[in-house]
A and B are shown apart, each in its own frame.
Chain A
Amino acid sequence: MRAYVPAYELRTPASIEEALAWMAREPGVWQPFAGGTDLMVLLEAGKLAHRRFLNIEKLPELRGVAVASEHVTLGALTTYTEIQRHPILFAEFPLLCRAAEETGSVATQNRGTLGGNIANASPAADSPPALLVYDAELELVSSAGPRWEPYNGFHTGYKKMQMRPDELIARIHLPRTKQGWAQHYRKVGARKAQAISKVCFAAAAQIERREIHDLRLAFASVAPTVIRAAAAESALRGRRVTREVIAAAREALLHDIAPIDDIRSTARYRLRVAQNLLEDFLQCLPS
């Protein structure tokens, strides 16, 4: 334990209004603290520069999964375990459940939250590719009121977000529009559990008359943020899966991703595997 623990504040607001009021009064001074599975690791390594945290863990407004006819809405504090156990999520948003089950381990899943994962903004996060595929939207709240942001484009750069210091992620909206789409998720890490991904891929495709009518491709760990592979999608939208189309998609993917060498893997490996995972998905499509 490398941090000077006595210097860290973790205050519990009585309500979400109080939490937002504190954040509005001193923007950036108070940062939200949910399950702690990212922040405590930084603390122990002596790398948590920020010292004043707001314990939002039990705020009821941020919990719960609401099912409406057009959307499923998850509170930001929904844990990975809760995601895996929810029957509608399991049935209609399998990629999110897969992501949840591949995140860390049981202990991490019991504490880690979807909102925390998004706010931590790691380019290697496991759930965000699924969220991108599902066209997720985020509800951000502050004392000034709520607003919605599409999740696609929410991350503007490495650890940069379209979010003000006085805002909290409150809910994640998942439109119920991917039923019947072929869906695929694969995380490649150094081992089968407890691994930060080297490449993570989520995809869904709507096949009509043996053509890819529409699709979503999302990757983690191959760019400074999680990304939608827009160029690869363009190369595939409206097409049938043939050897030439696969080759074109692999080529187009090079324009979407910018993998690096780091402590976990190499740029070359990430690039090749990203292409291979895409091809794997395409080969499995009923067309």
Chain B
Amino acid sequence: MRVPEAVAKIEIACTVNGKPRRFRAWPMERLLDVLRRELKLTGTKEGCGEGECGACSVLLDGALVNSCLVPAAQAGGSEIRTIEGLADGEQLAAIQEAFVSCGGAQCGICTPGMVMAAAALLDRHPQPNEEQIRSGLSGNLCRCTGYMKIFEAVVRACQAGGVRR
């Protein structure tokens, strides 16, 4: 058995959290790894490597995606927003404040992905009903909370005016 031959790395230009970024990556390298290793944005987490847990959720051109399933070659020209890009400096987004005040984060490992999913949900449905909240977050697994206080945080954030960006 021989180590397969490596292809050439490609150059990717995209916008991450509002800033233009350039990096070199393998074409099928996971966006998750590019964010964490290349761009040092370690807020986005790996929980499963199979697109089930949502810990790696980011916004790609405004849409929630699992960054463990996005190849670097498809990130070129896109606008990416990670958890690091949600707050405005020290001013947390309403959804982040709500997570803190409602106890929506326990161990916190699912929290960045969960907050991004909640942000995407509120973007689409500023006043979601319970069913919309459940289905909007159903791709983000949390082992600690049983989701109750995450739902409360989403509701609290709506009352406070949703996501500011």
Contact = CB atoms under 8 A, between A and B. Distances in A.
Direct touching of A and B (C-beta under 8 Å): yes
B135 A41 contact: no
Contact of B74 (A43, A57, A194): A57
Contacts of A193: 135, 138-139
Contacts of A105: 54, 138-140
A11 B51 CA distance: 23
A194 B7 contact: no
Contacts of B136: 106
Nearest to B3: A4
B27 A111 contact: no
Contact of A6 (B26, B66, B70): B26
Given A55-B74, A105-B138, A40 B51 contact: yes
Contacts of A43: 28
Interface in A45-68: 45, 51, 53, 55, 57
Given A10-B71, A105-B138, A106-B117, A41 B26 contact: no
A193 B138 CA distance: 6
A37 B139 CA distance: 13
B63 A110 contact: yes
Contacts of B57: 107
* Interface range on chain A (Cβ under 8 Å from partner): 35 or more
Interface residues of B, number: 37
Nearest to A37: B69
B64 interface: yes
Interface string B6-29: 110000000000000000001111
A101 interface: yes
A216 to B, nearest CB: 27
A30 B119 CA distance: 38
Contacts of A192: 138
B95 interface: no
Nearest to A40: B69
A45 B68 CA distance: 12
Contacts of B54: 105, 107
Contacts of B3: 4
Given A1-B30, A107-B64, A111-B69, A41 B51 contact: yes
13 contacts: A8-B27, A9-B27, A10-B71, A36-B71, A41-B69, A44-B68, A55-B74, A101-B135, A105-B140, A107-B64, A110-B60, A192-B138, A194-B141
Given A8-B7, A108-B51, 5 more contacts: A5-B28, A10-B71, A10-B73, A81-B63, A111-B69
Interface of A: 1, 3-12, 33, 36-37, 40-41, 43-45, 51, 53, 55, 57, 81, 101, 104-108, 110-111, 192-194
Closest 10 interchain pairs by CB?
A105-B139, A193-B138, A7-B4, A6-B6, A8-B28, A10-B27, A110-B63, A40-B69, A10-B73, A44-B49
